[in-house]
Structures are given as structure tokens and as C-alpha cells.
């Protein structure tokens, strides 16, 4: 429970037990609970989707569609404090800087935000808005529920399978405590939370897995491994991947 609460507090703005002192071991052991953190977020996202798009309309209260969709795009950023978006932007700044490996890593660590990051983040938000707008209303609660679970599963996959590119860093604490057996347990209980929601959810999990392998292989070729920023980028991009899969009309 202690490790789960640390993961919940680190990855979100939800503070059940206020704790400000974390050890490297605390960070490392929290990784195995990341999909459970995703399930907490999924309950919030999916529950609000059901409330705003199903329950209120059944009571004769119809909210503006576009504003509701903007709310669902902004909600993950607000509840997570934008931690994964920050990693995504830093990754884009570094990877597309056209510099050598060491300079890329420096750029990713720099607190300043570059033009590549701003453009990429705007495009990411537009794609998410488009995907949510194209989702049939009956699929929206399920899509928003499994989205954070699958994306956190892929983050653990990245941590476990790919070398850490820096000599030091917060992400290295995660890497040191995430063994292959831990990954196996995470994938099994993560699948147990996703599979019952149907073929589209399973397809989203498969596509997110393939995307993660492709993306992390690409980054590893450039940086010689991944970083904490890449963990955030994988999480954010996989959320978009899940939404896109749910917009597809799977005939079986």
C-alpha cells in the first residue's frame, strides 16, 4: 500500500497521504503499481464521461459537445499535473534538435521549452480532441477508463525492457527495481483490467504495445537508451493511440 500511494502521489495530483520524503527504493517499488494508478485515473475519467454524456442527458441536461470534449482533453493534464506532457515535450525538443547524443540529453534536461515542443504539444492536443470528438458516445466511458491503464502498462514495459540513457537520474531508480518478473506481473494484472472491456480494448492494448516497441527502439538508436522524459512521452502518446483505436469501427 505504501508503494502504491507513492506512485499515486508521484504520477497524479491526488494526495491521500501527504509524504514529501521519498527514497530511491520507494520510487522503484512504486513502478509495479503504475497500472493501478492508471485504474484510479480511469475511474475518474470514465465516471465523468458516463455522468456528462449519459446520465445528465437522460435527465434532460445536455451540455455543449465541443466544450465537453475539451474538458476530457484537459482533464488528464489537470489531474496528473502535466508530468507526462512535460516528458513528451522534452523528448521532442531533444530528439528533433539535430544535435549529437550528449547535446540531446542536455536539451531534454533543460527547463526551457523549445519551438519543437510547443508545436508538438499543440498537435497532440488537437489529435486528442479530434479522437474524442469522433468517438461514439457509447464508447467514450470505456475508452477513457482503459486509456490510462494501458498507457501506464506501456510505461512499465519501457522501464523494464530498455536501458537507461543517463548515468544518473530519477528514471534510473525505476529501472533498477523493475525486473522481468515484475513486468510479467504488471502485464498480467493490467490485461485482467483491460480484456473484460471487449475486443476494441484488446486491440488498443495490442496497438499500444506495438507502438511502444517501435518508438522506444527508435529513441534507443538515437540516445543509446531511454530517459524519464521518454517514459512520459510513451505514456502520453499511448493515450492518444488508445483513443484512435477506439474511433475505428472494428467489425468483430
Would you say residue 66 lies in a domain?
A: yes
Taking the C-alpha atoms of residue 140 and residue 127, their distance in angstroms, rounded to an integer, is 16
pLDDT at 21: 65
| Residue owning grid cell 521549452 | 113
Mean pLDDT (10-residue bins), the chain, 252 residues: 83 77 76 95 96 91 92 95 92 85 85 85 96 93 97 96 82 79 94 95 96 96 91 96 89 54
Task: Give me the pLDDT at residue 150, please.
Answer: 98
| 54 within some domain | yes
109-to-67, 93, 98, 119, 122 alpha-carbon distances in Å: 35, 10, 16, 19, 21
Confidence (pLDDT) at 74: 96
pLDDT at 213: 97
Q: Write out the three cell numbers for 221.
A: 538508436
User: Measured at the alpha carbon of residue 118, what is the angle toward residues 116 and 65, in degrees to the nearest 5?
Assistant: 135
24 in any annotated domain: yes
What is the domain count for the chain? 1
Q: What pLDDT, on a 0 to 100 scale, did the predictor assign at position 216?
A: 96
**Is 137 within the bounds of a domain?**
yes
Q: Measured between alpha carbons, how far is 209 from 194 in angstroms, rounded to an integer?
A: 13
Residue 113 lies in a domain: yes
Cα-based distances in Å from 52 to 136, 140, 208: 14, 11, 27
pTM, to two decimals: 0.94
Q: Evaluate whether residue 252 is within a structural domain.
A: no
Which domain range does residue 222 map to? Answer: 2-247
Q: Is residue 135 part of a domain?
A: yes
Amino acid at each position: 500500500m505504501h508503494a502504491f500511494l507513492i506512485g499515486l502521489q508521484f504520477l497524479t495530483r491526488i494526495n491521500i497521504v501527504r509524504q514529501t520524503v521519498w527514497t530511491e527504493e520507494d520510487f522503484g517499488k512504486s513502478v509495479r503499481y503504475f497500472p493501478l494508478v492508471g485504474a484510479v485515473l480511469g475511474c475518474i475519467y470514465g465516471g465523468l464521461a458516463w455522468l456528462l454524456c449519459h446520465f445528465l442527458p437522460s435527465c434532460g441536461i445536455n451540455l455543449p459537445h465541443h466544450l465537453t470534449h475539451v474538458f476530457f482533453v484537459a482533464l488528464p493534464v489537470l489531474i496528473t499535473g502535466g508530468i507526462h506532457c512535460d516528458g513528451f515535450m522534452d523528448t521532442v525538443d531533444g530528439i528533433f534538435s539535430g544535435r549529437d547524443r550528449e547535446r540531446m540529453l542536455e536539451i531534454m534536461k533543460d527547463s526551457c521549452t523549445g519551438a519543437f515542443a510547443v508545436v508538438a504539444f499543440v498537435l497532440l492536443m488537437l489529435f486528442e480532441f479530434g479522437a474524442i470528438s469522433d468517438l461514439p458516445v457509447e464508447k467514450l466511458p470505456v475508452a477513457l477508463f482503459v486509456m490510462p491503464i494501458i498507457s501506464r502498462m506501456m510505461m512499465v514495459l519501457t522501464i523494464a525492457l530498455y536501458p537507461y540513457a543517463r548515468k544518473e537520474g530519477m528514471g534510473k531508480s525505476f529501472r533498477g527495481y523493475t525486473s522481468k518478473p515484475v513486468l510479467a506481473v504488471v502485464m498480467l494484472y493490467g490485461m485482467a483490467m483491460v480484456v473484460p472491456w471487449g475486443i476494441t480494448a484488446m486491440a488498443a492494448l495490442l496497438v499500444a504495445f506495438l507502438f511502444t516497441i517501435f518508438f522506444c527502439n527508435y529513441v534507443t538508436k538515437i540516445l543509446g537508451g531511454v530517459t524519464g522524459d521518454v517514459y512520459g512521452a510513451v505514456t502520453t502518446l499511448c493515450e492518444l493511440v488508445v483513443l484512435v483505436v477506439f474511433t475505428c469501427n472494428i467489425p468483430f
